[in-house]
Amino acid sequence: MTHFAERVLTGELAEARKQLERILAVLDEHEESDAAYCVCEAIERLIGAPTTIEQWYLMTGRGPEGEPLA
C-alpha cells in the first residue's frame, strides 16, 4: 500500500487542522457521515494528500484517474 507523507503545516494551518479534527469527532458521534466525509476531504486538501478516490485507485493498482497502470 502506498503511504503519503504529510506536509509541514504553518501554525495557522496546524490550528485549522486541529479544529477540523474536533469537528470530525463531533460529526462522527452524531452519525453525520455525509458531513464527516466533507470534513475528511478538507483535511486531505489541507495536508496535500490525494483525494479519497485517488487513494483508492492507487491502492488497487490504478492511476489517479482510475486508468490501469502499464
The reported pLDDT for the residue numbered 7 is 62
pLDDT digits (tens, 9 = 90+) for 20-46: 888 888 888 898 888 888 887 887 787
Q: How far is 49 from 41, CA to CA, in rounded Å?
A: 9
C-alpha cell at 39: 470534513
The reported pLDDT for the residue numbered 2 is 52
Q: How far is 41 from 30, CA to CA, in rounded Å?
A: 19
Beta carbons within 10 angstroms of residue 65's beta carbon: 8
Predicted confidence band at 56 (pLDDT cuts at 50, 70, 90)? confident
Could you tell me which residue, 11 or 70, shows the higher pLDDT? 11
Contact at 8 Å (CB) between 26 and 10? no
The reported pLDDT for the residue numbered 35 is 85
The mean per-residue pLDDT over the stretch 38-59 comes to 79
Q: How far is CA 18 from CA 7, 9, 31, 47, in A?
A: 15, 11, 20, 12
